[in-house]
Amino acid sequence: MIHGGTTLRGEVEISGAKNAAVAIIPAALMVDGVCVIENMPQISDTEMLLTILRELGARIRFLNRSTVEIDCRNVCMQDAPYDLMRKIRASYYLIGAMLGRFGHAKTTMPGGCNFGVRPIDQHIKGMNALGADVDVKAGFVYADARDGKLHGARIYLDKVSVGATMNIILAATLAQGRTIIENAAREPHIVDLANFLNSMGADIRGAGTDTVKVNGVEKLHGGSYAIIPDQIEAGTYMVAAAATGGEVLIKNVIPRHLECISAKLRETGTIVLENGDTVLVKGASSLRKINVKTLPYPGFPTDMQPPMCALLCVAGGTSVITEGVYDNRFKYVNELRKMGAEIQVDGRVAVVEGGHRLSGAPVMACDLRAGAAMVIAGMCASGTTVVEDVRFIERGYENFVGKLNALGADIHIVDEREESDGRDKILTMIG
Ligand code: UD1
């Protein structure tokens, strides 16, 4: 429950990157030794992946709040907790990691946020090229290395895909010979996965460019690694500071990863100052309209599209948002309309008539980033907003409510209780 009309001020510390962590945890499956991973974000997606590894036989121990020790030496190929796998998108990384370690894999088709059709054909194309047969049957993915081991290959991705790039890197790490991935995605978390694997003995070059070369190695050894800060979490606080007209110092970031977000915020009139591993965001007294198009990195991230849309609802003038990555990522717009936002959607384009004062309403967090957008809109609105299904937000933001309240927001988790089937949490208003 959000009491709106607050202005964010102060400092916020950014956690480790979700999309790096969710690949690095499966990568630990391939390590013949103990991995100590620092800056692990405390979010439900990483908790679920750690649980999956534990159920496969890994020894997992938190050394402090954000440092986890993972020992997968005794993991054996057995039936995994498929109910958990089904809930997260990143479970697809277990295909590459298990193929690398065991020569075969069985996972569920990935879950995650629903932005329309999200195929994994490019992952499968990559695994096929490396010498694995892949079958999708009754919601499961079965992958088998044809001669028990993968072999390096040249793979051209028909679509720039973060998941396929990282999954092929995982599978190729312990393959025989050299793999070349062309038209690879270039996101910071791809570089982070490659750096993690290289620090454990892999030989991966070119991550962060559109051609990644993986020279297969015999085995990986244990070691320590710190995950990079989360680009999207940082961007969300930047947008929240700007939308509420506040002033927030965002700490523990890599400003280069935020340039695409900083550039668009500056166009709205927001001041963004980079200094070392911080950015200072000072909101303008009145925000200006902008046009945004989401693209693979270094373009404006699709995951920042819903938070930016919430900001543009309170900016002056008409803004145009073009979604360049997914077919259907504007479903949440209906929720913003309940708060008085005027937004027209036609396919992949949303036209936002800004300048309206939003008013609090009961809304849904349709997915992870849409949930964050609802919270930002709620802070800008007059009155009270109740966001339901906050479990989506917990998938990817560590202590979201605590961090925002420390900046001056007025947000309460009202009542969280288990539904009778014991799985889904629901948020109900009381009093
Ligand atoms: C990852 C991120 C997600 C982010 C997205 C784009 C994780 C766990 N999730 O998702 O937060 O929004 O990158 O930055 O890291 N596609 C295909 N075939 C494939 C794979 C993808 O057609 O085999 C399409 C997708 O439907 C989408 C586009 O390619 O239209 C990009 O998807 P991709 O980069 O693969 O996103 P994810 O890895 O699923």
Neighbours of 261 (CB within 10 A): 24
Confirm whether 366 is a catalytic residue.
no
Burial of residue 393, with CB atoms counted within 10 A of its CB: 0-12 exposed, 13-18 middle, 19 or more buried: buried
Confidence bin at 78 (pLDDT 50/70/90): confident
pLDDT at 115 > cutoff 70: no
Q: Whose CA is nearest to atom 15 of ligand 1?
A: 19
pLDDT of residue 87: 85
CB of 167 closer than 6 A to ligand 1?
no
CB of 303 closer than 6 A to ligand 1?
yes
pLDDT at 182 > cutoff 80: yes
User: Who contacts 361 (Cβ-Cβ below 8 Å, separation ≥6)?
Assistant: 338, 339, 381, 385, 386
pLDDT digits (tens, 9 = 90+) for 193-238: 999 999 999 999 999 999 999 999 999 999 999 999 999 999 999 9
Stretch 164-188: mean pLDDT: 98
Distance from Cα 428 to the centre of ligand 1, integer Å? 33
Confidence bin at 111 (pLDDT 50/70/90): confident
Question: H-type helices in 103-251, by residue range?
Answer: 121-129, 162-173, 188-199, 231-243
Structure tokens at 222: 């244990």
CB of 121 closer than 6 A to ligand 1?
yes
pLDDT digits (tens, 9 = 90+) for 79-88: 778 888 888 8
Peptide bond into 298 cis (omega under 30): yes
Confidence bin at 98 (pLDDT 50/70/90): very high
pLDDT at 422 > cutoff 90: no
Percent with pLDDT over 90 in the chain? 86
Q: Could you tell me whether strands 67-71 and 132-137 are parallel, antiparallel, or unpaired per DSSP bridges? A: unpaired
- The number of the ligand 1 atom at minimal distance from the alpha carbon of 302 is 12
pLDDT of residue 423: 32
pLDDT digits (tens, 9 = 90+) for 407-420: 999 999 987 553 33
Only one residue has tokens 């949303």, namely: 350
Confidence bin at 431 (pLDDT 50/70/90): very low
Average pLDDT of the chain, as a whole number: 93
Active-site residue (options: 35, 72, 76, 113): 113
Q: Could you tell me whether strands 223-226 and 34-38 are parallel, antiparallel, or unpaired per DSSP bridges? A: parallel
pLDDT at 241 > cutoff 50: yes
Confidence bin at 326 (pLDDT 50/70/90): very high
pLDDT digits (tens, 9 = 90+) for 259-291: 999 999 999 999 999 999 999 999 999 999 999
Distance from Cα 348 to the centre of ligand 1, integer Å? 16
pLDDT of residue 116: 64
pLDDT of residue 426: 31
CB of 116 closer than 6 A to ligand 1?
no
206: left (phi over 0), alpha (psi -120 to 50) or beta: left
Instruction: Name the residue of 91, 159, 369 to mutate for ligand 1: max ligand atoms within 8 A of Cβ.
Output: 159
pLDDT of residue 375: 98
